[in-house]
């Protein structure tokens, strides 16, 4: 009762408020251009990324789900996740994946069409078919025709299959490919699927399933983006005064109960339910509370100083369960919360603890106060570059590993310890040991007298010096080894480079390895290589190594080496010595002859000649003499920083042997084998636990891959150096961190050789255990499996040592020969064997183990019959080529790599578990396979933060369950906090988290830290309505907004999204809520996904400027195209989900260049046309290398003769202009059309833009083509422009370009638009546009612009009008007259950017765009530079990119020009006046007589168009 009284009292105290609209606000939604996909399909794709087996199991379980349940039940009650075989940690992620608008947009890759869910119009399905199959290009939905189509399939080419296609397991590559297009879960699918399964299981067809859905009208509402409502500076009024007309487009999105339920502690949703009779009064109370809360009176400077700490204190005071909600509310609505936050008291404990933590943040993470960071399980998530989709990928990847570790029965506390182990394979250059007597060292920096004046201490490395200076220190820091055949023609050049280093006193120790014939019978009188080696050894002995080095260089200079050359030099230098005694058969100068060749073969460094720096072999292309010199000097400078760090950290001291220090680094290996060292690796999934064994073949056959691998591991008996350690023996010292499984047919010589080499290595190492998998060449029989069965029987029945000795005997070839001639396997038994027991096992009737092994090799290892492989800790190295060598040295290399990268670290962790030896070794193998199989990422960071008692929000995980360890460091009054708070809330809801949010506040703020409202659109789960259908989708809602400020709306989307506004009647650039009825609803559409790339010319290493790429489909090869920038070789193409073909553009691009190689595409390496599949929302970046065709080597793309015919992309953007350009008119267009470029944002500037266009058209006789930047145009302008083009007979195109991610980003909309005016001129327009004029939207043209187009720029790339200087009263505002600008311009004029003309040919030829972007990148890092970006940048670059000054009459502006000059004005610009701050509209009417007439003329056209539109679409014209 008392609550009722309190409520009535509150209502009675309300001031009298005039009845008005309820809460005012702004809503924003973002949908895709393409239709949505069913949840079932989304879930299947999620599982496909886990494994194809999970995908097919899921398909099987859901094959007729739609027939069993109606649509609403199917979606809401029978969520597809019920049938997903997903482990607990991934369950939340699966639910989330179905919400993140197709975290995978599915692989709906129809034969020829880039949009998903639609069959291309020229590739329709057979009539009347809702599901069909395609057999090598022939389509049908008649199941009876399938067999006939398969029989004739070989006559037709096979279809192209994508990496993401779903192929049914176990398909034979030689049989016909049948692609089924169907919707899983439908009744048609069930029938086709069962038919295809029967064909695939019989080995008659390769079954591929592609999703096919009939078109749907439901669009996907997207999540994963931010919306900013920024408060605009109202110094200059830029709001249109035209009244908004028409009904609100999306008002239905805001229901009665949508507004925030709680205001100042009152729960209005509940109150309305309890007291329906007080509904109107409650509405008034709510409005009053909102308005009093949203007061935005400015704060004093002293009030702002502590705002960051005060906000943190407010968050930390909340219960931990609510703290993230409080942080989201305060940071996202900061402008209205700031005043109340200033009342908060900050405790000394919070300050003290935060200051201690900040010292740690700075020292360990490099974070300053105010910086933010996010870590998931120690992995750093870069908030600037990673969007929600990449965060989601990290979660999935981590979930896989944690679930794998959990399924190995590892306890939760140990899981995070294991995750922190950095076991990723190094992608550094591997090196071989150079401490080998086979190397003939020419010099030694530490002992040779020529270096005696150099300092000796390693501390010299820390002495400051100029960049690029090579430090001369008497230590062998840098070692160059040349391995050569002296008779090879290239050897002389390499020796000359080595001699140049030596003679110039470069601090480089030089060593030579001669690889010559090691046949004793061949001597130096018949072999030039042997002669040179013996000569070198003789002179070294008689004189010294440098003298010998000089001699062999003088011998080698005469081209191809001969014995005569060597004899001549010897006779000249040593006239009294008998040459035959040095070179002949009795010579004693053969030192290192055999050793040199042995060292070369043992290291496996590849074809001769080989040059190594500190043991690391150079690439083949680096052996060119000039390149070798450059690369070596670069390596010396690069390695110096490595040594500096080692000295600084105390790892390297003066008394240490430097070469020993280098050779103990983890990248040093005993042998270089590219197959083993490659970072492209395949691993078995061993993260399972079961009790199956391979001697039950019938059961083994039906296990999935993971279970098969576990079963093979369960059944494996191992050989070790000390025999097989008994199962009951527990000794931590016997954990063997390296497990080899040798795979081969041991009844064949190649299989036995591999086994023999493995055994020989195993006998040398205590770290290794060896298991065997037999891969028979034929179906197993008694005759062809004798060795395999004997090995198996010995391992099953004999003691460890006896079995090992017996198997070693069997692996020898002489044993095999005797067996082949009829010998019995028992003849080779060793002493101590239980022969009777062995014989009974050998002669047993069951071949189950062999059959299981054969199936395992085929289905899991993907080996052909009899093929060999080695599996090391789960990593598959194979199939090994027939005749390919994999010897004892390779096993040693494999072992040393495992021990260095993972084995020892995992072993030390497993020792802590206290499990018996065999299980411990198994765990090391399985954990290594699991961790190493993860994509390589950055190293994990350990969090050793001081304390989290007072200054951190802590949310603990559910006890006993696996959890994600999430650490955030955050300043709560930054943009990062606005984004991070909702993300952390979603993660907390989705998965089990151990979350710590450390506050990292800034003190002494002098300005309001956040001047915008923000919403991050992210929902944690799919939401259904009461009827079971989907809810409309996520929205950004700004409710109860203050009504006095002027707002501008900005979208903050992932880098690869191109978004446009498609529906709203309000000016989103100038939102003034006082003039709005209730809700401003803005609808955006994801128009394109961006395909980005980098392109380089392999010959020069430079980007090929002006090269063009096209993107299309087989039937429409050029849908979009682009030009490569010189900056990083960057290019971008607008695409949509689907499969695309990327080509060099027809014309000069593909005449001069061809594609050399590519990375990140979906095509085989040798393909000319690149296929790129866009099937998710993550950024897609490809790398393409091109090469000039031999006959075009001297030609340049951007020569003066460029006549590339460019239509395509730009033409495809044309919207409804009269008389579209035909190909034959292109020359006329190029010669006689004036191209005018302009930008506008907001209804007022679009109104000015239309008037500017009209003024151009009224005064210009030549045909005009307008180019508009599409990025910021309103829906109203885009709808109206076709009618205006029709009325006035001009052409237009809408162009757009996404600001590249690597170029410093601007955050303020006005500055972004300024950037577009100047930074991308070389890539916005096709090459066919030679010249264009830029005319500001707020300009009025009074002359024919042909005169300006034809103006002679005298070789400059562009012409600008200088600022007027005739209005003297404005002198105080002419900033360019003093300070920086006066000295920089050095007498030149400062130019205005409202009107300019660009000669694009010249602009591109001198790389002006690349220079401007380079300068911008440097200057824009300083927030105080480039205050007028579009104007300051070209003026700043005036010395590098010259500006031609246009005559003053080309631009008159009242602010800077006097009244007398107005009559000569050819254009009038409505510049802002810093003195009067006069609004633009007012100035336009006053200054330009004709402006109002133009305005009325446009309005009359708008009215006519609107009348016409009333019968159909409603237009909102301003």
Model confidence at 23: pLDDT above 80: no
Which segments of 433-508 are extended strands (E)? 440-441, 479-484
Q: Say if CB 1054 and CB 389 are below 8 A apart.
A: yes
CB of 183 closer than 8 Å to CB of 211: yes
Longest dimension (CA), the chain: 127
Task: Say if strands 1291-1295 and 1264-1269 run parallel, antiparallel, or are unpaired.
Answer: parallel
Is the pLDDT confidence value at 1238 over 90? yes
Report the candidate in 1239, 1242, 1306 with the shortest Cα–Cα distance to residue 1069. 1242
Are 53 and 704 spatial neighbours (Cβ–Cβ below 8 Å)? yes
What would the mean pLDDT of 1262-1281 be, rounded to a whole number?
Answer: 90
CB-side neighbour CA atoms (13 Å) of 64: 9
Three-state DSSP state, 1449: helix
In order of 503, 1201, 1205, 1354, 1399, the CA distances from 1357 in angstroms are 49, 17, 22, 9, 5
pLDDT band at residue 239 using 50, 70 and 90 as cut-offs: low
Check whether 1183 has a pLDDT greater than 70: yes
947-974 mean pLDDT: 87
Q: Is the peptide bond before 879 cis (omega within 30 degrees of 0)?
A: yes
Tokens found for residue 512? 């030579």
pLDDT in tens, 1102-1130: 888 888 888 888 777 888 888 888 888 89
Q: How far apart are CA 1469 and CA 1486, in angstroms?
A: 13
**Residue with the larger pLDDT of the pair 693 and 76:** 693
Residues 6+ apart with CB under 8 A from 1093: 1109, 1130, 1131, 1132, 1133, 1160, 1181, 1182, 1183, 1184
Cis omega (within 30 of 0) on the bond before 609? yes
Helix, strand, coil % in the chain, rounded to nearest 5: 40, 15, 45
Q: What is the pLDDT of residue 481?
A: 92
Select the highest-mean-pLDDT range: 199-213, 716-730, 846-860, 1440-1454.
Answer: 1440-1454
Cβ–Cβ < 8 Å for 387, 224: yes
User: For residue 1501, is pLDDT > 80?
Assistant: yes
> Is the pLDDT higher at 1339 or at 5?
1339
Calpha distance 132→124 (Å, rounded): 11
- Predicted confidence (pLDDT) per residue in 497-545, tens digit: 888 888 888 899 999 998 888 887 777 788 888 888 888 888 888 888 8
Answer for the pair 120, 134: CB distance below 8 angstroms, yes or no: no
Indicate whether 784 pLDDT > 80. no
- For the cut 60, the answer to whether the pLDDT of residue 98 exceeds it is no
pLDDT band at 675 (very low <50, low <70, confident <90, very high): confident
Q: For residues 1211 and 1201, is the Cβ–Cβ distance under 8 A?
A: no
Model confidence over 134-178: pLDDT tens digits? 888 888 888 888 888 888 888 888 887 777 788 887 656 678 888
Range 679-691 average pLDDT: 82
- Asked whether 685 and 705 are in contact (CB, 8 A), the reply is yes
Name the E strands within 701-860: 719-720, 738-744, 768-774
Cβ atoms 1290, 1217 nearer than 8 A: yes
183 phi and psi angles, rounded to 5 deg? -100, 120
Retrieve residue 1254's tokens: 């009209």
pLDDT band (50, 70, 90) for residue 287: low
- What residue ranges in 187-317 does DSSP mark as E strands? 206-211, 219-221, 225-231, 262-263, 266-267
| Residues 80-91, mean pLDDT to the nearest whole number | 50
Q: Which of 76-90, 272-286, 516-530, 1173-1187 is predicted with the least confidence, judged by mean pLDDT?
A: 76-90
User: Which is more confidently placed, 1280 or 1105?
Assistant: 1280
Tokens describing residue 359 = 């010292």
Distance from the first to the final alpha carbon of the chain: 54
Mean pLDDT to the nearest integer, 1255-1273: 90
Question: Which tokens is 664 given?
Answer: 């103990």
Number of Cβ within 10 Å of residue 203's Cβ equals 12
Taking the C-alpha atoms of residue 539 and residue 537, their distance in angstroms, rounded to an integer, is 6
What is the rounded average pLDDT of the residues 1193-1197?
80
pLDDT of residue 1496: 92
Q: Which residues contact 1274 (CB under 8 A, 6 or more apart)?
A: 1061, 1064, 1067, 1068, 1242, 1243, 1246
Question: Residue 1021 pLDDT > 70, yes or no?
Answer: no
Closest by CA to 789, choosing from 857, 725, 838, is 838
Cα–Cα distance for residue pair 1068/138, rounded to 1 Å: 51
Q: Average pLDDT of 567-573?
A: 81
Query: 7-21, 432-446, 1059-1073, 1484-1498 — which is least confidently predicted?
Result: 7-21
Tell me the whole-structure pTM to 2 decimals: 0.78
Please, which residues have CB within 8 angstroms of residue 716's CB and are 6 or more apart in sequence? Answer: 741, 771
Please state at what angle helix 307-317 crosses helix 320-332, rounded to 10 degrees: 150
Give the C-alpha separation, 143 to 156, whole Å: 20
**Residue 1084 Rama label (left phi>0; alpha psi -120 to 50; beta):** beta
Average pLDDT over residues 981-997: 89
CA distance 1459 to 260: 56
- Paired tokens of 1391: 């130019």
Please give the C-alpha separations between residue 1366 and each of 1377, 1381, 1450, 1465, in angstroms, as whole numbers. 14, 19, 15, 14
Across the chain, mean pLDDT equals 79
Is a pLDDT exceeding 80 seen at residue 99? no
Q: Percent of the chain, pLDDT > 90?
A: 8
pLDDT > 70? residue 1414: yes
Paired with 1172 in beta bridges are 1140
Q: How confident is the model at residue 244 (pLDDT cuts 50, 70, 90)?
A: low
The alpha carbon torsion through 1320, 1323, 1325, 1326 (nearest 10 deg) reads 170
CA torsion, points 1195, 1200, 1202, 1208, in degrees to nearest 10? 130
Residue 1266: pLDDT band with limits 50, 70, 90: very high
Instruction: Quote the radius of gyration of the chain (alpha carbons, Å).
Output: 38
- Average the pLDDT over 426-452 and give the result: 84
Q: Is the dihedral of CA 303, 304, 306, 308 positive or negative?
A: positive
* 163: its two tokens: 């990496």
Distance CA 561, CA 516 (A): 13
According to DSSP, the residues that pair with 1170 across neighbouring strands are: 1142
Per-residue model confidence (pLDDT) at position 1027: 62
Give the residue among 1136, 1147, 1225 at the shortest CA–CA distance from 1176.
1136
Distances (CA, A) of 1286 to 19, 111, 1517: 47, 38, 17
Tens digits of residue pLDDT in 852-867:
888 888 888 888 888 8
Q: Is residue 1229 scored above 90 in pLDDT?
A: no
For residue 13, pLDDT over 60 is answered with no
In this predicted structure, the answer to whether residue 833 has a pLDDT above a threshold of 70 is yes
Q: Which helix H or strand E contains 630, and what residues bound it?
A: helix 625-648
HEC sequence for 1128-1159:
HHEEEEEECCEEEEEEECCCHHHHHEEEEEEE
Confidence of residue 558 (pLDDT cuts 50, 70, 90): low
How confident is the model over 862-907, as pLDDT tens digits?
A: 888 888 899 988 888 878 887 777 888 888 888 888 888 888 888 8
Query: Is a pLDDT exceeding 90 seen at residue 1267?
Result: yes
Tens-place pLDDT, residues 1435-1479: 888 888 899 999 989 999 888 898 888 888 899 988 888 888 888
pLDDT tens-digit readout, 734-774: 788 899 999 998 888 888 888 888 988 888 888 888 898 99
Residue 229 to residues 209, 339, 1038, 1368, 1408: CA-CA distances in angstroms?
A: 45, 19, 8, 40, 35
* Length of the chain measured in residues: 1518
When pLDDT is cut at 50, 70 and 90, the band that residue 1237 belongs to is very high
Q: Is 1171 exposed, middle or buried (0-12, 13-18, 19+ CB in 10 A)?
A: middle
Give which of 1089, 1113, 1009 is closest to 387, Cα–Cα. Answer: 1089
CA-closest candidate to residue 581, choices 547, 543, 531 = 531
* Spatial CB neighbours of 712, under 8 Å, sequence gap ≥ 6: 694, 773, 852, 853, 856
């Amino acid at each position: 009762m008392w609550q009722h009284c309190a409520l009535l009292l509150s209502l009675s105290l309300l001031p009298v408020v005039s009845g008005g609209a309820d809460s005012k606000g702004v809503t924003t939604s973002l949908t895709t251009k393409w239709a949505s996909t069913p949840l079932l399909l989304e879930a299947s794709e999620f599982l496909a990324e886990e494994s194809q087996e999970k995908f097919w199991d899921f398909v099987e379980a859901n094959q007729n789900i739609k027939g069993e349940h109606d649509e609403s039940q199917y979606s809401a009650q029978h969520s597809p996740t019920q049938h997903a075989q997903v482990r607990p940690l991934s369950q939340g992620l699966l639910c989330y994946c179905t919400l993140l608008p197709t975290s995978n947009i599915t692989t709906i890759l129809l034969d020829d069409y880039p949009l998903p869910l639609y069959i291309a119009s020229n590739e329709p399905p057979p009539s009347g078919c809702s599901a069909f199959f395609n057999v090598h290009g022939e389509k049908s939905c008649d199941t009876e025709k399938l067999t006939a189509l398969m029989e004739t399939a070989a006559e037709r080419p096979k279809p192209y299959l994508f990496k993401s296609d779903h192929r049914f397991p176990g398909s034979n590559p030689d049989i016909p490919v049948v692609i089924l297009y169907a919707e899983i879960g439908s009744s048609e699918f069930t029938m086709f699927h069962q038919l295809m399964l029967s064909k695939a299981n019989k080995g008659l067809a390769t079954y591929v399933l592609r999703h096919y859905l009939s078109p749907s009208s439901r669009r996907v509402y997207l999540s994963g983006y931010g919306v900013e409502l920024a408060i605009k500076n109202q110094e200059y009024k830029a709001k249109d005064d035209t009244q908004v007309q028409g009904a609100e487009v999306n008002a239905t999105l805001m229901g009665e109960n949508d507004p925030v339920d709680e205001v100042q502690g009152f729960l209005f949703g509940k109150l309305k339910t309890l007291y329906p009779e007080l509904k109107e009064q409650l509405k008034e109370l709510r409005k009053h509370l909102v308005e009093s809360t949203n007061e935005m009176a400015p704060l004093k400077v002293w009030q702002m100083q502590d705002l960051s700490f005060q906000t943190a204190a407010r968050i930390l005071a909340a219960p931990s369960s609510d703290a993230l909600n409080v942080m989201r509310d305060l940071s996202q609505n900061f402008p209205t919360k700031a005043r109340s936050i200033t009342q908060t008291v900050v405790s000394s404990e919070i300050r003290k603890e935060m200051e201690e933590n900040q010292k740690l943040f700075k020292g360990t993470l490099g974070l300053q106060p105010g910086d933010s960071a996010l870590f998931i399980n120690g992995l750093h998530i870069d908030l600037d570059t990673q969007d929600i989709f990449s965060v989601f990928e990290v979660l999935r990847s981590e979930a896989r590993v944690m679930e794998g570790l959990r399924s190995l029965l590892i306890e939760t506390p140990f899981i995070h310890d294991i995750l922190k182990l950095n076991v990723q394979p190094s992608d550094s250059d591997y090196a071989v040991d150079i401490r080998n007597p086979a190397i003939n060292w020419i010099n030694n920096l530490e002992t040779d007298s020529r270096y005696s004046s150099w300092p000796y201490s390693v501390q010299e490395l820390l002495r400051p010096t100029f960049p690029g200076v090579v430090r001369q220190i008497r230590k062998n820091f840098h070692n160059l080894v040349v391995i050569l055949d002296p008779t090879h023609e290239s050897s002389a050049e390499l020796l000359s480079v080595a001699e140049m280093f030596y003679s110039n006193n470069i601090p480089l120790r030089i060593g030579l390895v001669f690889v010559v014939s090691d046949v004793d019978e061949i001597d130096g009188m018949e072999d030039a290589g042997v002669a040179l080696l013996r000569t070198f050894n003789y002179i070294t002995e008689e004189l010294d190594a440098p003298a010998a080095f000089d001699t062999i260089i003088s011998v080698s200079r005469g081209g191809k080496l001969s014995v005569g050359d060597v004899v001549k030099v010897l006779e000249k230098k040593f006239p009294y010595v008998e040459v035959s005694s040095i070179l002949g058969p009795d010579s004693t100068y053969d030192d290192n002859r055999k050793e040199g060749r042995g060292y070369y073969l043992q290291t496996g460094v590849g074809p001769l000649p080989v040059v190594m720096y500190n043991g690391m072999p150079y690439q083949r292309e680096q052996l060119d003499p000039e390149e070798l010199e450059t690369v070596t000097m670069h390596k010396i400078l690069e390695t110096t920083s490595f040594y500096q760090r080692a000295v600084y950290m105390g790892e390297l001291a003066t008394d240490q042997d430097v070469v020993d220090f280098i050779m103990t680094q983890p990248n040093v290996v005993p042998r270089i084998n590219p197959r083993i060292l490659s970072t492209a690796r395949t691993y078995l999934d061993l993260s399972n636990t079961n009790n199956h064994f391979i001697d039950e073949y019938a059961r083994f056959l039906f296990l999935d891959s993971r279970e098969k691998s576990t079963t093979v591991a369960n059944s494996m008996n191992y050989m070790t150096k000390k025999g097989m350690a008994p199962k009951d023996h527990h000794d931590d010292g016997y954990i063997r961190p390296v497990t080899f499984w040798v795979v081969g047919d041991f009844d064949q010589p190649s299989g036995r050789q591999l086994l023999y080499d493995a055994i020989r290595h195993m006998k040398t190492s205590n770290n290794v255990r060896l298991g065997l998998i037999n891969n028979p060449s034929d179906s197993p029989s008694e005759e062809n499996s004798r060795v395999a069965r004997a090995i198996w029987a010995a391992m099953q029945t004999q003691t460890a040592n006896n079995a090992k000795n017996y198997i070693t005997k069997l692996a020898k070839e002489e044993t095999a020969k005797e067996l082949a001639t009829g010998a019995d396997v028992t003849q080779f038994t060793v002493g101590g064997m239980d022969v009777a027991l062995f014989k009974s096992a050998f002669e047993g009737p069951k071949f189950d183990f062999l059959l299981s092994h054969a199936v395992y090799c085929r289905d899991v290892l993907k080996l052909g019959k009899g093929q060999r492989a080695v599996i090391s800790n789960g990593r598959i190295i194979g199939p090994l080529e027939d005749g390919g060598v994999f010897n004892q040295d390779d096993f040693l290399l494999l072992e040393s790599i495992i021990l260095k990268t993972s084995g020892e670290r995992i072993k030390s962790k497993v020792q802590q578990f206290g499990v018996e030896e065999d299980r411990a070794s198994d765990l090391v193998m399985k954990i290594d396979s699991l961790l190493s199989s993860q994509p390589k990422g950055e190293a994990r960071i350990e969090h050793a933060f001081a304390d989290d008692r007072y200054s951190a929000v802590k949310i603990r995980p559910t006890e006993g369950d696996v959890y994600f360890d999430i650490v955030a460091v955050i300043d709560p009054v930054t943009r990062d906090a606005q984004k991070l708070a909702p993300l952390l809330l979603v993660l907390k809801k989705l998965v089990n988290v151990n979350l710590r949010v450390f506050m990292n506040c800034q003190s002494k703020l002098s300005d309001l830290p956040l001047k915008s409202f923000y919403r991050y659109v992210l929902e944690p789960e799919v939401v259904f309505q009461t009827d079971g259908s989907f809810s409309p989708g996520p929205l950004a809602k700004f409710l109860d907004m203050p009504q006095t400020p002027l707002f501008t709306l900005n979208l903050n989307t992932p880098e690869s999204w191109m978004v446009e506004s498609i529906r709203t009647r309000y000016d989103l650039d100038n939102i003034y809520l006082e003039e709005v009825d209730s809700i401003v609803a803005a609808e955006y559409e994801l128009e394109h996904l961006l395909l980005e790339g980098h392109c380089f010319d392999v010959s020069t290493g430079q980007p090929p400027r002006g090269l063009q790429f096209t993107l299309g489909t087989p039937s429409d090869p050029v849908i979009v195209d682009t030009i490569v920038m010189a900056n990083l070789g960057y290019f971008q193409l607008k695409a949509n989900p689907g499969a695309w073909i990327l080509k060099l553009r027809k014309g000069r691009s593909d005449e001069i260049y061809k594609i050399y190689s590519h990375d990140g595409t979906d095509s085989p390496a040798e393909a000319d046309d690149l296929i790129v599949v866009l099937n998710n929302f993550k950024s897609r970046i490809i790398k393409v290398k091109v090469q000039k065709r031999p006959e075009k080597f001297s030609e340049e793309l951007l020569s003066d003769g460029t006549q590339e015919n460019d239509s395509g992309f730009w033409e495809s953007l044309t919207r409804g202009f009269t008389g579209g350009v035909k190909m034959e008119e292109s020359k006329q267009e190029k010669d006689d059309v004036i191209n005018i470029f302009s930008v506008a944002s907001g209804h007022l500037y679009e109104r000015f833009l239309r008037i500017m266009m009209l003024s151009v058209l009224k005064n210009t006789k030549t045909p005009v083509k307008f180019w508009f930047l599409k990025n910021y145009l309103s829906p109203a302008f885009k709808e109206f422009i076709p009618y205006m083009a029709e009325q006035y007979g001009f052409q237009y195109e809408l162009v757009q370009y996404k600001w590249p991610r690597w170029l410093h980003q601007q955050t303020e909309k006005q500055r972004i638009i300024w950037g577009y005016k100047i930074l991308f001129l070389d890539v916005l327009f096709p090459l066919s546009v030679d010249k264009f004029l830029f005319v500001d939207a707020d300009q009025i043209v009074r002359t024919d612009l042909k005169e300006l187009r034809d103006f002679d720029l005298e070789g400059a790339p562009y012409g600008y009008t200088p600022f007027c200087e005739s209005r003297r009263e404005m002198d105080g505002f002419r900033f360019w007259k003093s300070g920086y600008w006066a000295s920089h311009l050095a007498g030149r004029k400062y130019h205005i950017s409202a009107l300019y003309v660009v000669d694009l040919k010249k602009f591109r030829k001198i790389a002006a765009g690349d220079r401007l972007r380079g300068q911008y990148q440097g200057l824009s890092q300083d927030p105080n530079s480039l205050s007028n970006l579009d104007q300051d940048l070209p003026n700043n670059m005036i010395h590098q990119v010259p500006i031609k000054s246009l005559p003053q009459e080309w631009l008159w502006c009242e602010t800077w020009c006097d009244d007398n000059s107005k009559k000569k004005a050819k254009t009038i610009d409505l510049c802002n006046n810093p003195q009067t701050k006069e609004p633009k509209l007012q100035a336009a009417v006053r200054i330009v007589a004709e402006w109002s007439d133009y305005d009325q003329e446009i309005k009359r056209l708008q009215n006519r168009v609107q009348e016409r539109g009333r019968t159909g679409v409603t237009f909102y014209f301003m």
